[in-house]
Structure 1
Amino acid sequence: MSPELKVASIQMVSTPDIKENLDTAARLIKGAATAGAEVAVLPEYFCLMGLKDTDKVRAREAPGAGPIQERLAAFATENNIHLVAGTIPLEAAESNKVLNTTLVFDPQGQQIARYDKIHLFGFQTANERYEESETIAAGSVPGELTLHINQTDWRFGLSICYDLRFPELYRGLGSVDCHIIPAAFTYTTGKDHWEILLRARAIENQCYVLSSAQGGAHLNQRRTWGNSMLIDPWGAVLANLPEGEGFITGALSKDKLKEVRSKLPALKHRRL
């Protein structure tokens, strides 16, 4: 049997209280590790779903220093797990903005990868307006991660929420075993597009997709869609958590990746 990797996706309904959110994350990470997960993923904004967009600017940390990052490193070591830490607010060049950043920690608590969200969500209707770019500075470098676990290399793509709508980002990352996507998709767009987009990214890139979502009604009146999922390279949903806090687990299989890419070698047929 070919190598497999046990993964977990954690779903939360984060609040404006950073300590409360970190305590919730600690409990869920421990549960995922106890269930055998070797890699666990937290959702976007897991540490803070503020009452105002500017709350995350006040909570920002310098890269490599700060209480949020210290606790994340501790979570990884305490649970002997690779932790993909959703997103946290890090300092940006502009003092009134943050970078919306995924950090990855190894079981020794060392930060081994980072990705700053590239595509920023925004919309305006007659009654509602929301612009991430008012408080978030866009990243510019696609996110990649290679983990060597159980004598096997596993290659991941790192992206965040709204990135999901831009397939050229995923094509540009090339062949990966799994795309990891922390998110806080809105209920309105999530019910119509979330699963379709996740399955499309898995099918067209012939890889696993592991998404970790916010999933419920928040104190700031936002409602997020949830439905954290593990999807296989053929587009089948292997695990799903519709709403509320909790986690899902599953396994990535090198055999499954090879099977899909052999019977339909579409990636080899690309012309553009």
Structure 2
Amino acid sequence: MLTISTIAAIATALVIGLAANHYRCRQALEGGDETSVRDPLKTLAVLLVAFVMVMAAQSYDTASQAASSEAHRVDQLYEVADYAPEPQRERLQAAAVCYARAILAYEWPQMDKSHRMDSEASVWSSDFRRHFKELAHKNANTFEILVDVDDQRSAARQTRLHEASPAIPPTLFWFMTIALAATIGAFAFGLPCRRRPSHVILLCVLAALFTGSLLIVEDIDRPFSGYIRITSEAMADTTGDISSDFAQDHPGRPLPCDIRGARTGQTDSPER
């Protein structure tokens, strides 16, 4: 809906500007000179586009880094847990596999609608902390490393969820849209009365570039649901790797979750 409104705003400004130019030229005996209003409008439009695109790009980059970091920390947590004694080793590694599966199956598909932690995944992060407490008096060095890795995982998850929300306020986006539409209208209005086809072509190209800029900003401001979306490939790779590792490290031992990461036994309190 927002995409259609953006295109409609620019197209409407172009049509109105050309219509006003036609009316002006009919009233004038001489050819139309360039209007001075275009230069400040053009400057404002360019500055707004640059500012908003930087905001959107930074948010997109932060979201991408958070998604990759979370997957890496889950893999690292599984590897560090290998230094823990049993039974905490198996329990932590099983929880890591189930957490990754739950993120993929439950939390990731909801990123475009809900930006909250999914309870199916959060029960496994609660398991991490429970097993850390059991490990604290057995292997202090491994305990400290695991806690640090889990803190980084939790921070990356929170950042990923936070950056899923649009970084650009709707008011700012529509102000930019109106400014670009006004710029197009002013350029159309200021076309020479004895214009050549190249004038109209260049005006249409400018309108297309402005429209494309708005659509790109709108798309990357939704980093997990737009056309240029961040995929779950990093977490999917981690899930495959640690699932295979668990089967090799603990042959014949079942995971406490199904293929989607849902607990097959009792559920702990979710992560807060």
Structures share fold, TM-score greater than 0.5: no
Larger relative contact order (Cα-Cα within 8 Å, sequence gap ≥ 6): 2
Greater percentage in strand: 1
TM-score (norm. length: structure 2):
0.23
TM-score, with length taken from structure 1 = 0.23
Q: Which has the higher helix share?
A: 2
